[in-house]
Chain A
């Protein structure tokens, strides 16, 4: 009886794992097939490995441009989110000032009230007025503006750092700004790491925002946008192999980060539930 249970359990787990991995395997293996072999569908392993697909995707399908754009958007917005939200979290946790509750309430509001694509339009118009609609800086700024969750994570980490520490520094004649930079920021590293991962993952995977901003400027497309646009290419049917190679290129960096930090990543994600 126990054995039957155990067998059923493992069968369930293996089927679930197979279904989870299947699309990823199809993508990875498909990225090495010729287009003809891919769309004929019947093989699992490529009959001959077409490493050329990657070269073609990188050059012809402009994945080098997309990758650069994605990196720029992700790195810039991650740094921005960390800076802006750690400064705010420090002030809100450590200082007393009128309007504090209003500020915290506002952050909670922006996190919970979502009205969908409607905000994209005024955001886009604002960027036209700032002359940032022709660059990716507009996308970066909008991504940074959505830093409420980073703020709340850092706020909870901040309250875990004893206040005596910065009071001692202040008595020793250290200015508030220097205390923040030289004392608080190093102590906040674990929290900053969590936020950086989330912010980077969010920006790297963002689709709608860069899509809207690059509608008339394909040279600014990010990986997710450029890849999706391949689907609607002139000869969509003949590009499936490039789509697969492109998908692999766009997953790879996140996969590397994830495998590298798998253990701590899982723990951090789990830990954020309590925060």
Chain B
């Protein structure tokens, strides 16, 4: 009797969470899994076409172009933000005067929405009346207006903006990891005559290993998935130079939502197949990194 009452209580308390997760979390994923085998434009006929959508993904040059863009974007973002975040964390972990203020400064960008930040950077970087160009021109630091968001520089600009928003976050995570390393390890290392650089190489890096592995993995996933700021800043343009794969998927579902690009047809079935492929790509890279870094840790 009492047992059944307890059970009823358990399920009753779990119900809000369970139903919301099932209906708005799991069902949409199942929905996509089903439609990836259909030809479906969002209205009208739904035709089962088996694996045809996947064959089309393989032949879709624009998609693979966006995959290449994603790798360039994620690679650039990681290569800049992770070392910088680690460096700042190591420096600010010391008993430096003003370190609390500096930590707060570097963390500041992470509280700004990526969409808001993209709007601000648009005002700074745009070629015709951007703040940066006008400033550089006024002081004759450049000969003519630089098209920061044009085909030649757009990817670099987008990467820099994302680095600006991400460094503080990873710095904080690194700091948390560093604070878990006991101080006496450093003391004994310096007694043994290790200099600061050697201490970093032989104490900090190995002891930070597991935390670093997790932070880098988070960073990889985030970098591969990020597209909000790109959407606001360049909308994938110009001529698809900054079109990353999650943005490509988005446009298959909401073709008219973007502003710059020529509107295409809504492709729900095909879009589901593409998003499935992107999920596999992200999963594969994460798994590769995870097992690769595990092995490295063992030999370090």
Contacts and interface: CB of A to CB of B under 8 A. Distances in A.
Interface stretch (B49-57, B117-125, B198-206): B117-125
A103 B14 contact: yes
Contacts of A247: 116, 119-120
Contact of B32 (A119, A205, A258): A119
Contact of A17 (B21, B106, B176): B106
A27 B135 contact: no
B253 A120 contact: yes
B113 A224 contact: yes
Per DSSP, are chain A's interface residues mostly helix, strand or loop, or mixed? helix
B281 to A, nearest CB: 11
A152 interface: no
A251 B112 contact: yes
Contacts of B137: 41
A38 B131 contact: yes
A177 B27 contact: no
A240 interface: yes
Given A114-B279, A145-B23, A212-B257, A151 B108 contact: no
Interface string A9-46: 10011001101110110110010000000111110000
B164 interface: yes
Nearest to A120: B253
B16 A84 contact: yes
B172 A9 contact: no
Contacts of A258: 108, 111
A116 B111 CA distance: 22
Nearest to B30: A122
Contacts of B91: 9, 12-13
A60 interface: no
Given A42-B138, A258-B111, A117 B16 contact: no
A184 to B, nearest CB: 11
Interface in A235-261: 237, 240, 243-244, 247, 250-251, 254-255, 258
B29 interface: yes
A67 interface: no
Per DSSP, are chain B's interface residues mostly helix, strand or loop, or mixed? helix
Contact of A118 (B133, B138, B271): B271
A38 B133 CA distance: 12
Contacts of A87: 13-14, 16-17
B74 to A, nearest CB: 14
A56 B152 CA distance: 36
A161 to B, nearest CB: 16
Contacts, number: 245
Given A20-B109, A23-B124, A91 B119 contact: no
B113 A207 contact: yes
A54 interface: no
A123 B179 contact: no
Contacts of A4: none
Contacts of B299: none
A59 to B, nearest CB: 20
Contacts of A205: 112-116
A234 interface: no
Given A237-B129, A270-B179, A116 B164 contact: no
Contacts of B135: 41-42
A201 B111 CA distance: 7
Interface in B2-55: 6-7, 9-11, 13-14, 16-18, 20-29, 31-32, 42
A266 interface: yes
B115 A224 contact: yes
A66 to B, nearest CB: 11
Contacts of A9: 91
15 contacts: A9-B91, A17-B106, A23-B124, A39-B131, A91-B10, A97-B11, A116-B249, A118-B249, A147-B17, A205-B116, A208-B228, A227-B115, A227-B116, A247-B116, A269-B176
The 8 closest A-B pairs by CB, nearest first: A41-B134, A205-B113, A145-B24, A207-B115, A119-B28, A270-B176, A39-B129, A88-B17
